[in-house]
Structure 1
Amino acid sequence: MFAHRTGGLRALLLAVVSVCVAAVVGSGPVAAVPSNVAETTHLGTVGNANWYGAYIPVAGGVKLYADVLVPRNRAGRVPTVLAIGPYFQHLRPQPGGIGVQEPPKRYDDLLRGARLLERGYAVVFADLRGYGASGGCPDNSGELDRSDLRAAVRWTATQRWSSGKVGMYGKSYDGITGLMAAGERIPGLAAVVAQEPVYDWYRYLYGNGVPRTTRIGTPLSLVYTSVNPPSYVNPRQFQDYATRSAANLINPACVPATLTAQQSPLPNDPYWRGRGIMEPLKRSRVPIFLTQGFIDQNTAADGLTELLRATKGPVTGWLGMWDHVRGNDTDRTALMGGLTDRPSTGRGDYLEQVGRFYDHYLKGKGTAPSGFLVQDNTGSWRAQSTWPDQASIRTVPLRPGTYRYTGLEVATKVKAKGKWLATQIDGVAAAANVVQRTADSRANGVWTVLPPEPSPIRISGTPRITVTARAHHTDPNPLVQNTPIAVDLYDVAPSGRATLITQNVSMLERGETRIRLYATDWLVRAGHRLVVRLTDTNRGRWDYPSPTSNAVVNVLSGEAQIPLAPVNAGTPTNGMSNTSLEGYLARYVYPVPLG
């Protein structure tokens, strides 16, 4: 979902505008069906499925395009698995640049691994408004997208081949649409599988007012996805795409307004409030199968415990130490490590469990997976009925002290050939071994070092930090008067090697600043210490584009609330370590001062 090379994207978008305008001017008229009428066309067969192209009418005279696969050997009506997102491609590239239309390949692994068509499921892949072959302006999870989700689920549930039961499936952005739909109480929606989703669009681009490094690149990458020229054979689809893309780029209320709104760092901005995901989930009873990596450098576990508290329906899933991967990925499919068939989570039965989940909730067959499979930082897996299995909260007073806002500090770094290299790069898996030079100074921070643990402890859930601090500015420039704070929690071995457990950032508030760190499940061994660092920045994951004020920040008081679970929580189960975790443990380290 990220794009780092924003300059190249801008140039590419300008080129796309020219292509779109030329296509609109130069193409002849294509007969249109009224905007409030659904259309379905049989496009052929794919394997043992009949393949249809459908246009689903939604709000504002827009139609969503969907590829529909229905088992040819079905006996009566069948349940449907629906995926809605911005990333579906409907063509197979051919020599010469002209594509052959075909159903999207994005979730071929699901079709093959879970054998959905063979087991009697229909499958629908639908483009969000503003993407692919759908019309309209991208709404980025606003009210129009919510309305479209309601319409798409209802359309799917009421087709002549449909049993009326719909399950949703997706990862990343496609996972967000599933969670959004779960909060809409849509008749027919019976189950949602969401892998590595975003829990809050604001927090995806900002950490409590501090921008992530991708706050520009990510929106531009989605614009590019929306207007990226396809090689459609179907003239109607290409003209629809060209007309839509040109209009959306030129229309000040579409792409320009969206890009402007997404640069607001204020969480209460109406744009962000209108795209909240958690509040609607409080009324949801839709069963959810959730997958979340605690060390995901793309979609962080910043809202995991919040979601588990919010929803009223059954939630099951996999939680563990992996990056932005699918539950069934291998290092080969995730383009990670040695490109082997090693499972990228540490287990290989994900799609089997997804199949059981759908069978139970969409067909009423068998027993659904329940509870959670959890992998901690040791690579070990366990099964438990709920997560987090919280036993107590340890309250740790934080030392007072002083740091300076230089904008140079990082959370993790290693030394190579006499030079310090930062290892945390926003959106890049630790296993990728991408580094950059850093001028971080460990002296620029307020350190709280706890005594060695006499026995093992398990941190499970979301640590919370409260800090009272005062910033003293010498720079009259109002652009630099906002001063950030970064919080890093480390596990320090007796050897002095410190590994980052979790983190977050915020702009300092008047009075108390409250910060929720990312959720985790981390075993701290006996003899290890917990260390908390308060400093100005975690450069690499967050961006600090304004000139820094060199302000002096006095930390007056603070406390950390660390959720603890039983060390022997749950029941040990099959599973192993993975490449993401091993890269993280090797590179997400810091030379913590213990003296």
Structure 2
Amino acid sequence: MHRNAARPSTMAMTLALIAMIAVLLPVATPAGAQPEDTTHWEFDVPSLDGTILDIDVIRTEGTPVDEPQPVILVVSPYTLPEGDGPSSRFDDFFEATGALEQGYTYAIATMRGFGQSEGCSDWGGPGEQMDVVAAVEWAADQEWSNGNVALLGKSYDGWTGLMGMANQPDGLAAVISQEPVFDGYRYLYDDGIRFANSLVTPTSFMTLSPPTCAVEFYTAQQDDRADSAFWQQRELINASKGSDVPLFLMQGFLERNTKPDGAFAYWEGIEGPKRAWFGQFDHVRGTDAENSPSGYAVGRADWAEQMMIFLDAYLKEDAAAEQAWLDLPQVEVQDNQGRYRGEDAWPPADAVVRTSTINGGAYTDNGLNFGSPTGALVSFGTAPVTGDGIWSISQPLPGDRHLAGEPVLDLDLVVTAPRTNVVGNVYDIAPDGTATLVSRGADMIRLPGLVHHRLEMYGQDWVFAEGHRIGVLISGSNAEWWVHVPTQSPVAVIEAFAELPLLDTPRTDFDAGGFETSRLRQHNSSTFTVPAPVITLNETPFNVG
């Protein structure tokens, strides 16, 4: 292991590294988490503002020190050293792909405020974005690099990949981002309504960061308005629009951590070569194993193979790999039956928005309704309240109908109290009344009065079977999902429309390797029954094409 003893300037750092390469042969050193048969170096690298970052570099043992290789870089707060060695956070990736043996170098940059890096975490802010830029440009500029760097990550370090997409540092040739944060605000809030992690996540980061800076950012994170300066600095959907960095994106429709809010707007804004997997999975990696037909939590087994085609195409600039990558469908999407299929875009071009007039009425913003029994906090043996609100239920469907996109409810409301909750759910209701949640959305109406509001809901790819019904519920809460502060006020829905993106053409061509995930099985088992009188009373014709 080599570690720079001093903290030199960028020029001094470069000269010192060149000198080291000229006179030293790297020696493999025992390390707690270091992959077998590898060599490990450790460097102090200045970020753009001078904050020193700890960066580990790992190569296959015996690789000439001056042999230029493409670099796979992880920039993360989660990559603290383990024993005498580097973090093992992405060892699974390198075991699955064999990337080190195939001529790649692995670099790990620990973000400011964590591990042996200096400074304060600013939770996705300008400081961390500078760290991403500095780490990419440093890695691209080394003699042992061929100048092409890919950012790899999942969750928070998936977010840092998108910071790279937004800032486009020199040398960034590709990004692999699995289940990322697209917007720091949307990770903690939904238009003013908290998720439980709006308190938990900032508190956990306070325990890991120096107290003086942690308190500052904890306070800023409690602002529930998305337009604050703090949150605008952490919004990457618009910041990444037009980026031409090649991207592989993975997003679960059934995510419970980094939820799909904003995912598809982000996707549509990227202009470079891009591919995505959108499917019925949770907060997982493409390599995560599970006890299911595919053996993997994403419902298919070819993730590692596809990632190496992607990396060879854009980091090794292999023309055959690039053509193989471009020949793949831009999107692989998994429906609620576990089937994957290729699409040129998602939502697909033939997803036609069908608008239906749905029932008006009134509900009380009392925080009692649960959108789904999953996650419900049952007290005193009492089952959670479900189906409490204004129902609109379609006629039995004359054939299969395939929703592919993000439903929207267009509402005219009379709101009597500030900061009122409005929630929409879409359900698949079987002939026996069993209701399965398909999509949800929630907003806070901040001021009372006559309000026109468009409630955008989570995207989904869902086939409603012939004879089933589509149900829409308007209420004041999904208590298992959001942390509502009920106003106990009445809300009148004067006029309402449901906009459902339904495919014009049935899909019949599916990938052979797609299977149901354990997360999908769990989701489909979390149901409740809509009583027959409720269905009869609230039946209204839906436009389903």
Normalising TM by the smaller chain, what interval? 0.7 to 0.9
Q: Which residue number in structure 1 is paired with residue 470 of structure 2?
A: 530
Equivalent in 389, 398, 401 of residue 358 of structure 2? 398
Equivalent in 396, 414, 417 of residue 470 of structure 1? 414
> In structure 2, how many angstroms separate the alpha carbons of the residues matched to 1:562 and 1:339?
31
Distance 1:341 1:572, change over 3 A: closer
Q: Which residue number in structure 2 is paired with residue 5 of structure 1?
A: none
Q: Shift of the alpha carbon at 1:467?
A: 1.4
Gaps of 5+ in 1: 1-29, 92-99, 228-247, 332-337, 414-422, 426-433, 474-480
> In structure 1, how many angstroms separate the alpha carbons of the residues matched to 2:178 and 2:459?
16
User: CA offsets per residue over residues 40-98 of structure 1, 9 Å max, x none?
Assistant: 6867345333210011101333111111112344473110000111111311xxxxxxx
> In structure 2, how many angstroms separate the alpha carbons of the residues matched to 1:111 and 1:443?
47
Equivalent in 204, 212, 226 of residue 267 of structure 1? 226
Asked whether the 8 Å contact 1:129–1:137 carries over to 2, the reply is yes
| CA RMSD, Structure 1 to Structure 2 (Å) | 2.3
Asked whether the 8 Å contact 2:276–2:332 carries over to 1, the reply is yes
Q: Which residue number in structure 2 is paired with residue 429 of structure 1?
A: none
Q: Shift of the alpha carbon at 1:131?
A: 1.4
Q: Which residue number in structure 1 is paired with residue 400 of structure 2?
A: 456
Query: Is 2:388 the counterpart of 1:424?
Result: no
Asked whether the 8 Å contact 2:329–2:342 carries over to 1, the reply is no
Q: Which residue number in structure 2 is paired with residue 357 of structure 1?
A: 310
After TM superposition, the structure 1 stretch with the greater mean CA deviation from structure 2, 498-507 or 138-147, is: 138-147
Q: Which residue number in structure 2 is paired with residue 476 of structure 1?
A: none
**1:49 aligned partner, one-letter code:** T
Distance 1:109 1:409, change over 3 A: same
> In structure 2, how many angstroms separate the alpha carbons of the residues matched to 1:372 and 1:410?
32
Q: Which residue number in structure 1 is paired with residue 287 of structure 2?
A: 328
Equivalent in 74, 88, 92 of residue 79 of structure 2? 88
Query: Is 2:342 the counterpart of 1:383?
Result: yes
Q: Shift of the alpha carbon at 1:591?
A: 3.3
**1:352 aligned partner, one-letter code:** E
Q: Shift of the alpha carbon at 1:326?
A: 0.7
> In structure 2, how many angstroms separate the alpha carbons of the residues matched to 1:90 and 1:151?
20
Distance 1:588 1:64, change over 3 A: farther
Distance 1:514 1:439, change over 3 A: farther
> In structure 2, how many angstroms separate the alpha carbons of the residues matched to 1:255 and 1:424?
30
**1:405 aligned partner, one-letter code:** D
Query: Is 2:386 the counterpart of 1:445?
Result: no
> In structure 1, how many angstroms separate the alpha carbons of the residues matched to 2:283 and 2:387?
33
Query: Is 2:70 the counterpart of 1:126?
Result: no
Asked whether the 8 Å contact 1:35–1:63 carries over to 2, the reply is no
Q: Which residue number in structure 2 is paired with residue 594 of structure 1?
A: 535
User: CA offsets per residue over residues 121-169 of structure 1, 9 Å max, x none?
Assistant: 0001111111122111101111122222111100000011000000111
Distance 1:439 1:266, change over 3 A: farther
Asked whether the 8 Å contact 2:428–2:468 carries over to 1, the reply is yes
Equivalent in 488, 500, 506 of residue 568 of structure 1? 506
Q: Which residue number in structure 1 is paired with residue 254 of structure 2?
A: 295
Aligned-residue sequence identity (percent) comes to 32
Q: Which residue number in structure 1 is paired with residue 516 of structure 2?
A: 577
Query: Is 2:483 the counterpart of 1:483?
Result: no
Distance 1:442 1:374, change over 3 A: closer
Asked whether the 8 Å contact 1:281–1:310 carries over to 2, the reply is yes
Q: Shift of the alpha carbon at 1:531?
A: 0.8
- Map 1:272-287 to 2 at 5 A: 272-287=231-246
- Report SS of the residue matched to 1:514: strand
> In structure 2, how many angstroms separate the alpha carbons of the residues matched to 1:571 and 1:444?
39
User: CA offsets per residue over residues 308-332 of structure 1, 9 Å max, x none?
Assistant: 211111211211101111112112x
Q: Shift of the alpha carbon at 1:341?
A: 8.5
**1:135 aligned partner, one-letter code:** E
> In structure 1, how many angstroms separate the alpha carbons of the residues matched to 2:508 and 2:250?
18
- Report SS of the residue matched to 1:502: strand
> In structure 1, how many angstroms separate the alpha carbons of the residues matched to 2:287 and 2:270?
25
TM-score using structure 1 length: 0.80
Q: Shift of the alpha carbon at 1:264?
A: 0.9
> In structure 2, how many angstroms separate the alpha carbons of the residues matched to 1:65 and 1:590?
55
> In structure 1, how many angstroms separate the alpha carbons of the residues matched to 2:221 and 2:463?
38
Runs of 4+ in 1 over 4 A off after TM superposition: 39-43, 338-341, 434-443
Q: Which residue number in structure 1 is paired with residue 371 of structure 2?
A: 411
Q: Shift of the alpha carbon at 1:386?
A: 2.1
Equivalent in 299, 306, 309 of residue 265 of structure 2? 306
TM-score using structure 2 length: 0.87
User: CA offsets per residue over residues 142-199 of structure 1, 9 Å max, x none?
Assistant: 1122222111100000011000000111100110110110121222111110101111
Asked whether the 8 Å contact 1:384–1:569 carries over to 2, the reply is no
Q: Shift of the alpha carbon at 1:339?
A: 9.6
Q: Shift of the alpha carbon at 1:570?
A: 7.2
Distance 1:187 1:114, change over 3 A: same
Asked whether the 8 Å contact 1:43–1:52 carries over to 2, the reply is no
> In structure 2, how many angstroms separate the alpha carbons of the residues matched to 1:571 and 1:386?
16
> In structure 2, how many angstroms separate the alpha carbons of the residues matched to 1:301 and 1:361?
27
Gaps of 5+ in 2: 21-25, 30-34, 537-545
> In structure 1, how many angstroms separate the alpha carbons of the residues matched to 2:393 and 2:196?
30
Distance 1:385 1:472, change over 3 A: closer
Q: Which residue number in structure 1 is paired with residue 539 of structure 2?
A: none
- Report SS of the residue matched to 2:245: coil
- Report SS of the residue matched to 1:70: strand
Asked whether the 8 Å contact 2:335–2:461 carries over to 1, the reply is yes
Equivalent in 138, 142, 161 of residue 121 of structure 2? 138
Q: Which residue number in structure 2 is paired with residue 33 of structure 1?
A: 7
Q: How many residues end up aligned between the 2 structures?
A: 502
Q: Shift of the alpha carbon at 1:490?
A: 0.3
> In structure 1, how many angstroms separate the alpha carbons of the residues matched to 2:245 and 2:509?
27
> In structure 2, how many angstroms separate the alpha carbons of the residues matched to 1:320 and 1:340?
15
User: CA offsets per residue over residues 419-441 of structure 1, 9 Å max, x none?
Assistant: xxxx236xxxxxxxx96666754
Asked whether the 8 Å contact 2:330–2:342 carries over to 1, the reply is yes
Query: Is 2:433 the counterpart of 1:496?
Result: yes
> In structure 2, how many angstroms separate the alpha carbons of the residues matched to 1:215 and 1:165?
37
Asked whether the 8 Å contact 2:252–2:278 carries over to 1, the reply is yes
> In structure 2, how many angstroms separate the alpha carbons of the residues matched to 1:34 and 1:80?
23
User: CA offsets per residue over residues 188-238 of structure 1, 9 Å max, x none?
Assistant: 1111101011111111111111111221001112223x24xxxxxxxxxxx
Q: Which residue number in structure 1 is paired with residue 453 of structure 2?
A: 513
